[in-house]
Structures are given as C-alpha cells and as structure tokens.
Amino acid sequence: MKAIGFKTRTVAASLAVSAIAIMASSFSATAQESQDPIKLTLHDWTGQLITTQIMGDVLQKAGYNVEYVQADYLAQFAGLETGDLDVAMEMWETTGREAMDAATATGKVENFGPTGMKAKEEWWYPSYMKEKCPGLPNWEALKDPACAEAFSTAETAPKGRYLGGPVTWGGFDDERVEALDLPFEVIHAGTDAALFAELESAYQRKAPILLWIYAPHWAPAKYEGEWVDFPEYTPECYNDPSWGINPDMAYDCGKPHGEIWKVGWAGVKDKWPGAYAAIKAFTINNDEMGKMITDVDLNGKTVEAVTDDWMAANEDRWMTWIGK
C-alpha cells in the first residue's frame, strides 16, 4: 500500500499490537455517547501507526475510550462491517479502492473522507539502473530481455526480479506482470522493514533493484530514482479484461494514484457522534507525515514520541477537531 509510508511501512514503533484500553480525562465525552472503546486498527507501516496514534490521542483528549487492534489491511473490512472494528485511518486509493467500495456498498462501512495525504505507489528503480535499461522509465523497456536480466538475481535469472510489498498490501503486481507479459518474477517482501532494508543495501552497493515504493514516505526523497511509467490506470483496466493493451486480461496498467481515506463502521456516527466529527475533521499533509516517518524510521524515535511532539505543536489545530 501502499505503499510503502513515506507506504516506511515498518513497525519500528512500540505501539501496542494487542488491544489496549485507555481513558483520558482532559475533556469529557458528552454524556449521551457510549463509553465503549472506539477500536482503531493498526497495520504494518509506520505512517499508518502515526496517523492512528494521533487520532487515538485526540479522541482520548476528548474523553473517549480508545482501543488499538492489530488488523490486516484488506481483511479488516469484515470487522468494520460487523462493528467489531470501528475506524481505519488509512485506506489508500492506490491499493484499497476496490475493497473500500465493496464494503461501503453494503451500507455497513462509511468513507469518513480524505486524510489530506496524497498517495502514490508504483514500481521504482534507482537512477543508476537507467544506464543498464536506457528505455526507462517507459514500462516497455522492461520487456527487453537484456533489461530484465540487468534486474535479475541468481534466483530469478534470466528473468528480472521485482520486489513487491507484503502480500497483504494487495496491489496486483503478479497480475500486472502476467497481463503485460513482463519477463520478471515477483518476490514479495515479508515486511515493510525488509522492503526498505533491501533497498538500502542495494543502493549502497549500486546493485540492481526494482521494487515497490510509496509516498508519502522518506525513500523517494532520500534515494535518487524514478517510478516506472505504466499505462495510466482507469477503473476499466482493473474490471474489464477487454480494456487496454492485453485484450484478454485485466491489470494491464499502472496503479491508481490519489487520496488516502479514513473509513469505518457506519454505526460510529450514531454511537459516538463527537468522535465521528473529530475523525472526519482529521487532516494532515504529505510533508508533515514524511517528517514524522523519517524521525521514526531513520532517526530512531518511537511513534509515541513523534506523535507526542505533534500533539504539543498542533494543539490549536486538533482542539478544533473536538470542538474546543
């Protein structure tokens, strides 16, 4: 997702991975609202842990009971539909739109609006690889056997190697390779941290690497490189095999770009109307998020320390979210 935070989608933070309940006393939730915990989902990349922690902190300041629950990025919709989970702070247009649309169509899940961040997730390569595959960033350069071999490893040769995100992120990379007839093998990183550790290692050695990079994230700023230009995404590309370059297969295009959404159980607005308003009001931009992810992933700070700093520096802002 995407994805992967500036999608790092790493769990370098010390957030709880089991459900915890916390009550705050700075403000009081209105008397008619439920004191049941609002269950916020945690995923496996740093940016999402940050947005979730900020939202949880704000809700606690308003007097709500908050519970953090580890959940799968796409499979979480089952829990959101039943109300076993309440809020997911990041659903990326790039990887989660189909799952989100299917869930909201049931009427049991609501799109709570954009987070303010803009998402991009796509295949990415370091600039030094352009010498070995000079047709880049045009995706058709990857069809050249010599270019594919330049991206190969001992395990994939003569096919190139594409390092995708964890399987749970979705993204349809395996389908894209098949639909566009690319001589590449998709290898999925086990974790967000592993994805970017491999990039760091390859970049330092000027070794071949082609991988999933996402923004907002620190990697596109730290490393010199480019995203591959695939045929532009349209909904028909994913849903209509007859559309596009390959008349027999879907996913013969790049990934969508766009918003990062907040989604949740449709019952939140009735059970916790004040919290619902605060969640809808939440907004943060790519630059803010990129700096916080950098502090966690590169500078060794904890998610809690970074979000505490953000809360202190932005009190006037988040106070308006809770109507103070």
Nearest by Cα to 42 from 64, 67, 21, 68: 68
Nearest by Cα to 159 from 180, 182, 139: 182
Reply yes or no on whether the pLDDT at 20 is more than 60.
Answer: no
Sign, CA dihedral 309-315-316-322, equals positive
DSSP letter (8 states) at residue 18: S
Question: In the chain, what are the domains?
Answer: 21-118+258-321 (3.40.190.10), 120-239 (3.40.190.100)
CB 287 within 8 A of CB 214: no
Phi-psi region of 141 (alpha: psi -120 to 50; beta: other; left: phi over 0): alpha
Q: What is the mean pLDDT of residues 205-228?
A: 94
Q: Which two tokens stand for residue 192?
A: 């967000």
Sign, CA dihedral 165-168-172-177, equals positive
- In this prediction, residue 17 carries a pLDDT of 37
pLDDT band (50, 70, 90) for residue 284: very high
Reply yes or no on whether the pLDDT at 307 is more than 90.
Answer: yes
pLDDT band (50, 70, 90) for residue 95: confident
> If you average pLDDT over every residue of the chain, what do you get?
90
pLDDT digits (tens, 9 = 90+) for 171-205: 999 999 999 999 999 999 999 899 999 999 999 99
